[in-house]
Structure 1
């Protein structure tokens, strides 16, 4: 409690899943938080101490407007957490152009748009940016080629701008989470009964801690609170797997 007292934080994708868990965790840690999401109204409103505003991270004009409103409400900006993302799967040789474009526009271009908007407000006094990559973006996952490639772009973008923006005292890190979310439920729902059983058996074997995906509030939020705090000021350009040890299992 109070670890982030006085911090002003924007969280994209803050309407549900990991994003919502992060928003709640930051409020509990004492931060002032603005949640931006496609689901929210562009009029802006305050609900349970959280400022909520519409954003389409793939649209730079929408991002600039949403950040201007959010920063105005918060009275400044110290931290951006870019959670917003989409996942689509299927045979790699059959990925339609519209699916490829959607995944890259939200995950890769959305990272560029939100990070660049945050840079505008952070460059004078420093701060922290936390992007959401994925294990898929590190190892590549069959039938998730577009998602894997877009998340690989997030990790490499993070390493590049971490070096470029260090002179402004801005840290930039990425997370590779393995959390049970609505997006994961959608993936599971696409599997047949036999495929789901096989998937769960693989997960039980490959994730050393617990044998399944983690709980965002319990397993992920504590790290995000630390990365948003002053205690993480000497950590930048890193990708943190939060996955029960899954990433490095072979």
Structure 2
């Protein structure tokens, strides 16, 4: 298995990356797969790598020492990655493929969120949102395509319920996620003939990005966010747990158990929105 980790929590998304070789036993059918994970510094990317590491996956970067201390068989190699730079995405993937001798899956977990009233969104914030959420997704998908084209594989892109049911102050974020949604469905159709399955995952789980978003809100808006989640989620919790609720779904989607699943928006959200 391979994970390549983007370590920046704030844009632009620069930082060290790690390349690791492993076998993963969360689902037996992904044992020995070569999987690339972006967005490793925190949130979904980090939780996925940590959960996989507990089952024999090698992970790295600044939190690698923490993971390595729990998993003595960890193998680490660092590499810089900026997902907004096409050349860096290509270079990182090329290095990963050389290191492992192949690639089976991409879990692209890099994203950016920012709040502002629709009428006052600055050019710089629009550019940043487009660069990270849209260009970054397209660049990473394009970078892995040549290696998946010859043998098939899986791609998981980051999505959000806010693409279809936006909240106030997040018009530009919602728009960027709608673009990712359309891109995912389009490339699933185009690349299916190569045996490449492309899906988008819509998680409603606690992440540092959600924490940061809520911390930036006025007190009354935090209450409003809680009310929104309480009204929407069918289950008791407002948000799910990344390791318990989300990571097993990601493992399923990169395994052969999901071989007939592609072009889908996969909600892991407790019923917050009903995807169709």
Residue 89 (structure 1) aligns with: 115
CA RMSD, 1 decimal? 2.2
Aligned counterparts of 1:7 and 1:51: Cα–Cα separation in 2:
18
Residue 212 (structure 2) aligns with: 186
Distance apart, 1:50 and its partner CA? 5.0
Contact 1:18 1:83 in 2 (8 A): yes
Aligned counterparts of 1:157 and 1:198: Cα–Cα separation in 2:
31
**Matched residue SS, 2:114:** coil
Aligned counterparts of 1:53 and 1:15: Cα–Cα separation in 2:
13
Matches within 5 A, 1:1-250: 1=25, 3=28, 4-30=30-56, 48-248=74-274
**Matched residue SS, 2:157:** strand
Distance apart, 1:51 and its partner CA? 4.3
**Matched residue SS, 2:35:** strand
**Matched residue SS, 1:11:** strand
Unpaired runs of 5+ residues, structure 2, are: 1-24, 69-73
Aligned counterparts of 2:245 and 2:186: Cα–Cα separation in 1:
27
Report the TM-score, using the length of structure 2 for normalisation.
0.81
Residue 43 (structure 1) aligns with: none
Report the TM-score, using the length of structure 1 for normalisation.
0.89
Against the structure 1 CA distance between its residues 93 and 214, is the aligned structure 2 distance closer, same or farther, given a 3 Å change threshold?
Answer: same
Against the structure 1 CA distance between its residues 151 and 205, is the aligned structure 2 distance closer, same or farther, given a 3 Å change threshold?
Answer: same
Residues matched between the structures, number? 241
Unpaired runs of 5+ residues, structure 1, are: 41-45
Contact 2:49 2:57 in 1 (8 A): no
Against the structure 1 CA distance between its residues 189 and 199, is the aligned structure 2 distance closer, same or farther, given a 3 Å change threshold?
Answer: same
**Matched residue SS, 1:139:** coil
**Matched residue SS, 2:164:** helix
More strand by share: 1
Deviations 1:54-98 (A, max 9, x none): 211111011111111222222210000111010011101111011
Aligned counterparts of 1:32 and 1:165: Cα–Cα separation in 2:
29
Against the structure 1 CA distance between its residues 18 and 50, is the aligned structure 2 distance closer, same or farther, given a 3 Å change threshold?
Answer: farther
Contact 2:155 2:196 in 1 (8 A): yes
Distance apart, 1:133 and its partner CA? 0.9
Aligned counterparts of 2:200 and 2:78: Cα–Cα separation in 1:
24
Moved more, 142-151 or 188-197: 188-197
Deviations 1:129-174 (A, max 9, x none): 0101111112233210111111111111110000100110000000
**Matched residue SS, 1:22:** helix
Distance apart, 1:208 and its partner CA? 1.4
Contact 2:129 2:172 in 1 (8 A): yes
Moved more, 71-80 or 94-103: 71-80
